[in-house]
C-alpha cells in the first residue's frame, strides 16, 4: 500500500510572492550592512606591579583599555563586558588576581576621558548611539599580586559585546 506524497507550494499566488518580497526587504537590508562597528583602540596595560602591592588602573589612566563604538543609525545599545578574574602567567602555571570596581569604566561621546561618565563594567550598560557618532569607552582594573607572586609577564582578555536593539 502506498501513500501519495503531496507537495503544496507555500506561496500560492503571485500577490503573496510580491507581498513577501516587500516584507522581507528590511531583513535583506539588515544582512547587507553591519550597523555596529566596535573597535579596540587601546589594550589594557597594568604595567609593572610589585608582588604584594595592589595596583589600580583608573579609566582615566593611560594604561586603561579604550574602545570605540559606531552605529550607522540612531540606536539603543546594551554594553556588556566579559571580565576575567585573573591573568595567567605566560608559562600558565601562575595566576594574578584582577578585579573591577564600581567606577572602573567610563563612557563618553567625546574622544576624551575627562568629562566622561563613570560606570560599573560588571553590569550591563544601556547607551543611546547617534548615527555615525562614535561612543568611547574606557576600562580600568585592579591587580592584586600576592606577596609571593611569581615574577614575570601575565595576560588575559577582556571581551566587549555591544548589542543594538535598533
For other proteins, the binding residues in 11-30 under the rule CB under 8 A are 11, 16, 19-20, 23-24, 26-27, 29-30
- Least distance in Å: CB of 1 to other proteins? 30
User: Applying CB under 8 A, which part among 64-72, 101-109, 110-118, 121-129 lies near other proteins?
Assistant: 64-72
Is there binding between residue 93 and other proteins (CB under 8 A)? no
**Rounded CA gap, 68 and 23, in Å?**
33
Tell me if residue 17 falls in helix, strand or coil: helix
- Comparing CB distances to other proteins, the nearer of 3 and 46 is 46
Question: What CA–CA distance (Å, rounded) separates 141 from 157?
Answer: 12
Residue 160 lies near other proteins (rule: CB under 8 A): yes
Residue 112 and residue 66 in contact, taking contact as beta carbons nearer than 8 Å: no
Residue 154 binds other proteins (CB under 8 A): yes
Which one of residues 58, 59, 67, 119 is an interface residue with other proteins (CB under 8 A)?
Answer: 67
Q: Minimal CA–CA distance to 53: which of 164, 156, 161, 148?
A: 148
The residue within the footprint of other proteins, chosen from 60, 61, 84, 101 (CB under 8 A), is: 84
Rounded distance between C-alpha atoms, residue 90 and residue 153, angstroms: 6
The partner residues of 165 in beta bridges, in order of sequence, read none
**Whose Cβ is closer to other proteins: residue 127's or residue 143's?**
143
Task: Please report which helix (H) or strand (E) contains residue 36, including its range.
Answer: strand 36-42
116 to 135: interface string for other proteins, x by CB under 8 A: --------------------
Amino acid at each position: 500500500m502506498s501513500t501519495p506524497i503531496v507537495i503544496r507550494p507555500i506561496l500560492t499566488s503571485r500577490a503573496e510572492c510580491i507581498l513577501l518580497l516587500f516584507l522581507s526587504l528590511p531583513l535583506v537590508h539588515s544582512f547587507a550592512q553591519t550597523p555596529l562597528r566596535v573597535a579596540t583602540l587601546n589594550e589594557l596595560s597594568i604595567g609593572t606591579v610589585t608582588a604584594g602591592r595592589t595596583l589600580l588602573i583608573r579609566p582615566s589612566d593611560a594604561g586603561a583599555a579604550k574602545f570605540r563604538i559606531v552605529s550607522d543609525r540612531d540606536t539603543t545599545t546594551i554594553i556588556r563586558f566579559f571580565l576575567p578574574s585573573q591573568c595567567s602567567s605566560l608559562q600558565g602555571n601562575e595566576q594574578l588576581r584582577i578585579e573591577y570596581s564600581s567606577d572602573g569604566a567610563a563612557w563618553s561621546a567625546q574622544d576624551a576621558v575627562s568629562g566622561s561618565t563613570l560606570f560599573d563594567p560588571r553590569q550591563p550598560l544601556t547607551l543611546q548611539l547617534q548615527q555615525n557618532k562614535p561612543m568611547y569607552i574606557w576600562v580600568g582594573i585592579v591587580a592584586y599580586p600576592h606577596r609571593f607572586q611569581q615574577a614575570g609577564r601575565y595576560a588575559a582578555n577582556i571581551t566587549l559585546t555591544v548589542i543594538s536593539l535598533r
